[in-house]
Amino acid sequence: MDLRPPSAPRQRSERVRHAQLAVPVVLIAAVTVVDILAPPEVHLGPFLVAAPALTASFRGPRITAFVGLLAVIAQVVVSAVRTTLTDLNHTFQTIALIMISVFVTLFAYLREEHEKELVQLRSVAETAQQVVLRPLRERIGPLRVASVYLAAAAEARIGGDLYAAARTATSTRLIIGDVRGKGLDAVGEAALVLGAFRAAAHQEADLRRLVDYLEGAVAPDLYDSTAPDEDEGAGPRAGEDEGFTTAAVLDIPDDQPLLHLVSCGHPPPLLLLRDGRPVPLEVAQPSPPLGLAGLVDGPVAVQTFAFEEGDVLLLYTDGVLEARDRAGDFYPLTERVAAWTGLHPQAVLDRLCADLLAHVVGSTLGDDAAMVAIERLRRP
């Protein structure tokens, strides 16, 4: 958690901006003085072009035009001191400097407009992400919950990882999943899965029926309505066009120290026991990812695991496991979390996020990563 006051980043940013602006101004002053003092056969005026060109790379059109004006004034001063204002050499240098200043000012204007569009798009994407991926409450029934979403890039705040929780009369149900693909298509698939889960999680009495309902909500997308009908009656798309979602769906009863789990091709949750042992909850009969179950025969298998008071359950997407360091080694999740047993969920995620980002220092996350930590609270 960042404990700095909110104004600190802005103040530092302003100092950096002022320091950047000082560079072209100092350059103009230095070139002007040296050019005036240089021998008659030496002309440093062309170096003044660098000042507005440099400014256009980090400031807007107004500041760029102002620095260009300073450079032109400096060129006129040099002309007046060294020869005359009508000297042909200095006249052409001044005209060239004016033309280049106008050109880079236009470039700064276009860059600033493009940045405004990017900011607007990022704002829309972040809003869409918040609508699709609602934050989980800290307390849900007898559970204490924490969640976090790490984007693969700071600019990309939208992706296909998902999680949600819902209450029933006697239990808490959770889902965590990862949609194949990236971008708006993945967000659409994630919204479809989350909408189906929120609609049915508190209605379906059986976890198998809930997973069947989720599969039914996703499965129609496997049929391409735009495909030519020369293969009339053909089934779902195959190969690279298949869309699917890996997911883990859980039901945690309020009055029993256990949990029920259906794994649809998702990485196994980690149970952090009070005695310091992280236990992967490997299911004996995993189900296919959502969207592919129609291609495989067999019922959904529900497996039950112990979940005692004080234990912490860690749910995550494969972006955590696929994080690589500079040597190309994957993140050793089970080894790292072994040292964090006994912590509450938010502390576990804080440690995990910091350690994960330190593991990929000098690189970036290869995929978005979503994490949810759940603790069964001790009864009074």
**Residue 277, domain CATH:** 3.60.40.10
Lowest mean pLDDT among 94-108, 330-344, 357-371: 357-371
pLDDT for 233: 47
**Do residue 91 and residue 139 come from a single domain?**
no
Asked if 355 and 336 count as a contact pair (C-beta separation under 8 A), the reply is yes
Rounded average pLDDT over 151-170: 77
Can you tell me the distance from the alpha carbon of 372 to that of 317, in angstroms, rounded to the nearest whole number?
A: 9
The pLDDT of residue 232 is above 70? no
Domain check: are 106 and 159 in the same one? Answer: no
Please state, in angstroms and rounded to a whole number, the distance separating the CA atoms of residues 150 and 359. 14
**pLDDT winner (highest mean) among 127-136, 319-328, 354-363:** 319-328
Note whether 114 and 251 are same-domain residues.
no
Same domain, 115 and 175: no
- Taking the C-alpha atoms of residue 226 and residue 41, their distance in angstroms, rounded to an integer, is 73
Q: Where residue 158 falls among pLDDT bands split at 50, 70, 90?
A: low
Question: What is the total residue count of the chain?
Answer: 380
Q: Is residue 234 part of a domain?
A: no
Give the residues across from 143 on adjacent strands: 140, 376
Distance CA 247, CA 354 (A): 25
* 230 within some domain: no
> Stretch 158-172: mean pLDDT, rounded?
88
**pLDDT, tens digit, 9 for 90 and up, residues 178-221:** 998 766 677 788 888 999 999 999 887 789 999 999 998 887 54
Same domain, 23 and 97: yes
Q: Residue 163's pLDDT band (boundaries 50, 70, 90)?
A: very high
pLDDT of residue 261: 97
Say yes or no: 118 and 155 in one domain.
no
Distance separating the N- and C-terminal Cα atoms of the chain: 30
pLDDT of residue 2 exceeding 50: no
Q: What pLDDT shows up at residue 4?
A: 38
In the three-class reduction of DSSP (H, G, I as helix; E, B as strand; rest coil), residue 261 is classed as strand
- Residue 296 burial by Cβ neighbours in a 10 Å radius (0-12, 13-18, 19+): exposed
Q: What is the mean pLDDT of residues 310-321?
A: 93
Choose from 38-42, 136-140, 147-151, 203-207 the range with maximum mean pLDDT: 136-140
Q: What is the pLDDT of residue 71?
A: 92
Q: Is the pLDDT of residue 286 over 50?
A: yes
| 285 against 277, higher pLDDT | 285
Q: Give the pLDDT of residue 12.
A: 63
Question: pLDDT band at residue 283, thresholds of 50, 70 and 90?
Answer: very high
Q: What is the pLDDT of residues 102-134, one digit of tens each?
A: 999 999 999 899 888 877 776 766 666 666 778
51 vs 151, higher pLDDT: 51
Half-sphere exposure of 283 (CA within 13 A, CB side): 24
> Given pLDDT bands bounded at 50, 70 and 90, which one contains residue 360?
confident
Residue 236 pLDDT class (50, 70, 90 cuts):
very low
Mean pLDDT for the chain overall: 83
User: Do the bridges between strand 161-167 and strand 171-179 make them parallel or antiparallel, or are there none, so unpaired?
Assistant: antiparallel
Overall average pLDDT of the 232-254 stretch: 70
The answer to whether residue 3 scores a pLDDT higher than 60 is: no
Order the strands of the 143-150 sheet from edge to edge.
139-140, 143-150, 369-376, 312-316, 270-272, 278-280
Instruction: Supply the pTM of this predicted model.
Output: 0.67
| Pair 144, 122 in one domain | no
Query: What whole-number percentage of the chain has pLDDT above 90?
Result: 44
The answer to whether the beta carbons of residues 122 and 157 sit under 8 Å apart is yes
Percent of the chain surpassing pLDDT 70: 82
Domain termination residue (choose one: 92, 127, 162): 127
- Domain with 337 in it: 134-222+242-376
Q: From CA 40, how far away is CA 79, in angstroms rounded?
A: 12
pLDDT at 348 over 90: yes
Question: Same structural domain for residues 121 and 139?
Answer: no
Final residue of a domain: which of 111, 127, 143?
Answer: 127
